[in-house]
A and B are shown apart, each in its own frame.
Chain A
């Protein structure tokens, strides 16, 4: 375990040095990546559920060096804009934010810029697909996610953390939603990109999956990729998501055990 952490720090350090230098070798001839992982290796995922007492559900998730906190409130009465009330289902309200200290460069992040609004929109979309909103007419579910440290794959880490928080809140979902980013270098799909790889000009694909049915809740891709490679890339992303889902599953089951043991049943 310690070994993995060390590797990650090394990767991060190297990135500070190289910056955006072009021609960074993302995949060595031996098939290792910048932080020493293999092409299809995920970063270490660690998570905890129920980290806040006040919220209905909460979770903290680390994926390599990317860390996120997710909090869920609801379902509750729609507050504020009454016009948002849906008579057949709950509305999902998502807010994504990044801490000022989350990136290498300390930066004040104004609320509601295009990128974070888009991210909130995507989170909302993902959870609208997975949460059984039709069970809670006229109510609202709030999902707030904050990135504490950003090292690539922000969207996927947010989705994974929010999934745990939603489960913690006891809100019905069809299945876990797991997300992962995948890149494509030298005809090889790289799973779970870190920041150095993301900024290295790799074409990256983010995918949110409901692993049991193999349904894609969100698909987003940037940069150029030949059509023929699309299938293998999606395939790699789906495998990675299934890997993530195994980890999440373990976390949830562990949490269930602990709580049910405590309540003395």
Chain B
């Protein structure tokens, strides 16, 4: 089925919004959507959520004969499957342009950068080597498939354990997990892809485009990097003209994003390891009842319950005494009555603040960029949070939490408190 075209109204609206530095989901220009990394029961199975985009990667290994020209190297095989389940625009069977593009980019990102030690996958030189196969399935398409796929693939590779092999003379024995612990792959570095979309002939730039944004964009630039700030692959696509300065700027943004994502991945892996050691419920068994397989699922909202009373006391003590004035009816214009002095409305405050922030950033966007990255980096610490004690292998990234300047208002004070208390808890 061919994709239904975007209506002109929507297109104009999106472009206009982008011109005004606004995005549909309220993100800032350089923000990622909420990212979530989950693991299946098996080793080497990983789900990645990037907003509504959902991707599954499964790694499998088998013993095969090596390629003739590389007798003592294991074989890596990557495949991205675009099933029509993710979007009706994807056709089954036929190799579409998009699928070729994604597949090649993933290969370049993970194979050509030599992030996996293929020589360690050799069992008997020239006869038996491990073939590691990474299958990435798109479960739901809401834009930026490449980033989600690359994160899923590298996380799954890190998570994967291959059976141990013993060699006695000519005999090769593959041990079951019960006999010997399976061993992880040796991974040198973790390349992560970051996508930038360009609008209006490259005038505007967004990180992590969603599906709607992808439809109106002029072109895409994908940069794969690892946390050592080494670029593993760059690929521009779409008919856009880039300038050198833009590429350099993107590479700088990418390095910040990659370090954030890498941290998230390692945290997720760590959590999973802990959960497995503790023998808790993990993987599919746990994800089924929670409907985590599909993209439209309900997340539990985490509420801090441990030190509620302490904090309440804290707030009560620290807050200013309420104004002593007695509310009396005020009549601004004949026929209208009002009680109270019209104190500042704390409900709408958040929005106002955000707008202010946004405007400020608009003005200073050029000078502030550098600072912003640094800020983002420094914020990295409290970006990753453990949402629930039950879902230990789940890590949620909230990069879009607006960095508010604390004001003496009740609501923002509250947030600050919450953040600090969480930090404390982590330590």
Give the B-binding residues of A (Cβ under 8 A). 20, 83, 112, 114-115, 117-118, 121, 125, 128-129, 205, 210, 213-228, 230-231, 234-235, 238
Minimum distance in angstroms from B332 CB to a CB of chain A: 56
Minimum distance in angstroms from A29 CB to a CB of chain B: 26
* Interface membership of B100, Cβ < 8 A: yes
Contacts of A218 in B (CB 8 A): 236
| 10 residue pairs from A and B, CB less than 8 Å apart | A115-B104, A118-B104, A129-B240, A213-B241, A222-B233, A224-B226, A226-B230, A227-B229, A234-B248, A238-B244
Contacts of B229 in A (CB 8 A): 226-228
* Interface membership of B239, Cβ < 8 A: yes
Give the A-binding residues of B (Cβ under 8 A). 2, 69, 95, 97, 100-101, 103-104, 108, 112-114, 221, 225-226, 228-244, 247-248, 251-252, 255
Number of cross-chain contacts by CB at 8 Å: 96
The answer on a CB contact under 8 Å between B114 and A219 is no
Closest to A227 in B: B229
Known: A114-B104, A223-B112, A227-B255. A216 touches B242 (CB 8 A): yes
Contacts of B251 in A (CB 8 A): 227, 230
The answer on a CB contact under 8 Å between A224 and B100 is no
Give the contacting residue for B243; candidates A83, A216, A226, A227; CB below 8 A. Answer: A216
What is the bound-complex CA distance between A219 and B251, given in angstroms?
13
The answer on a CB contact under 8 Å between B112 and A222 is yes
Contacts of B238 in A (CB 8 A): 125
Contacts of A118 in B (CB 8 A): 100-101, 104
Contacts of B97 in A (CB 8 A): 117, 121
What is the bound-complex CA distance between A205 and B244, given in angstroms?
14
Contacts of A20 in B (CB 8 A): 69
The answer on a CB contact under 8 Å between A221 and B233 is yes
Contacts of B113 in A (CB 8 A): 222-224
The answer on a CB contact under 8 Å between A231 and B241 is no
Closest to A213 in B: B241
Contacts of A83 in B (CB 8 A): 2
Give the contacting residue for B241; candidates A205, A215, A222, A238; CB below 8 A. Answer: A215
Contacts of A214 in B (CB 8 A): 243-244
Closest to A117 in B: B100
Known: A121-B101, A219-B235, A231-B248. A224 touches B240 (CB 8 A): no
Closest to A133 in B: B239
The listed residue with most A CB atoms (<10 A of its CB), out of B221, B235, B255, is B235
The answer on a CB contact under 8 Å between A223 and B232 is yes
Known: A129-B239, A129-B241. A226 touches B247 (CB 8 A): no
Known: A205-B234, A221-B231. A216 touches B104 (CB 8 A): no
The answer on a CB contact under 8 Å between B234 and A125 is no
Given contacts A216-B247, A224-B232, 12 further A-B contacts (CB under 8 A): A121-B97, A128-B239, A217-B239, A218-B236, A219-B242, A220-B235, A222-B113, A223-B112, A224-B113, A224-B226, A226-B229, A227-B252
Give the contacting residue for A234; candidates B226, B228, B247; CB below 8 A. Answer: B247
Closest to B113 in A: A224
Contacts of A224 in B (CB 8 A): 113-114, 226, 230-232
Give the contacting residue for A226; candidates B100, B231, B234, B242; CB below 8 A. Answer: B231
Minimum distance in angstroms from B77 CB to a CB of chain A: 12
The answer on a CB contact under 8 Å between A125 and B100 is no
Contacts of B235 in A (CB 8 A): 219-221
What is the bound-complex CA distance between A224 and B111, given in angstroms?
11
The answer on a CB contact under 8 Å between A215 and B242 is yes
Closest to B191 in A: A224
What is the bound-complex CA distance between A216 and B235, given in angstroms?
12
Minimum distance in angstroms from B208 CB to a CB of chain A: 20
What is the bound-complex CA distance between A235 and B108, given in angstroms?
23
The listed residue with most B CB atoms (<10 A of its CB), out of A210, A220, A226, is A220
Contacts of B225 in A (CB 8 A): 227
Contacts of B248 in A (CB 8 A): 230-231, 234
Minimum distance in angstroms from B214 CB to a CB of chain A: 16
The answer on a CB contact under 8 Å between B247 and A219 is yes
The answer on a CB contact under 8 Å between B231 and A217 is no
Minimum distance in angstroms from B100 CB to a CB of chain A: 5
The answer on a CB contact under 8 Å between A227 and B231 is yes
What is the bound-complex CA distance between A67 and B230, given in angstroms?
33
The 8 A-B pairs of least Cβ separation, nearest first, read A215-B241, A128-B239, A221-B234, A129-B239, A216-B242, A227-B229, A219-B236, A118-B104
Contacts of B114 in A (CB 8 A): 223-224
Closest to B70 in A: A20
Closest to A115 in B: B104
What is the bound-complex CA distance between A112 and B94, given in angstroms?
12
What is the bound-complex CA distance between A216 and B191, given in angstroms?
24
